[in-house]
Structure 1
């Protein structure tokens, strides 16, 4: 076993070695790579979920359906009229539901509860539409849907 101190210069003397031994550096990097490859899957934990797929269905407009709009300022509109408070929204919802049930009973037809269709501004906070959903559920509505704008070029089913 020998040791390389350096190459001889013009005077015949050996100078300092200017080459770096990269073998230890490569060994350390490979060990770190193996450690990361083993530990990263252990650290990353996910809950297995089946996320819903989005499909656009054309809405069937019925006169008994309630059309609500929520703008970016959390203002709620029943049709075109602004609703000032959540209590007013609840009262209007209960009254509309009772009136529709009474109309269907009077006509002698099978009772089908009306739906609530909510249009929400894309810049609004979720709490705005969440409060509207909760209020309409308290009023007795069972079917609540969202009206959205389809993606350009997408075919509706």
Structure 2
């Protein structure tokens, strides 16, 4: 039985059957989607679980504050430093007993790339007392 409504006169069909081509294209599309790697760009840092209970820990006399500015500057206790100086300062701070707390506070417009690089440096340095500070100002989200 012919698919066209006309009479089958034995001449070759002039239209190309595109169904197999569409099937091959769909299979190729699925193969490309499966083989694309998942974007996993993350810096894994172990942080303590949040708790509402007050800490009964002695207050550390020394705290180092690390601020990233929107201009790409790294500030260590309000002094501008570069990444090499950061590595040496972190190594020096890990030798102090008790180890001073490192407070990390990037400005809202600070570069994500710089933040990721600095967090990798901190993770590689072996710092054990580390905290994000200043996050309470972002507790509420304001739509502008």
TM-score, normalised relative to structure 2? 0.49
TM-score, normalised relative to structure 1? 0.46
Bigger Rg over Cα: 1
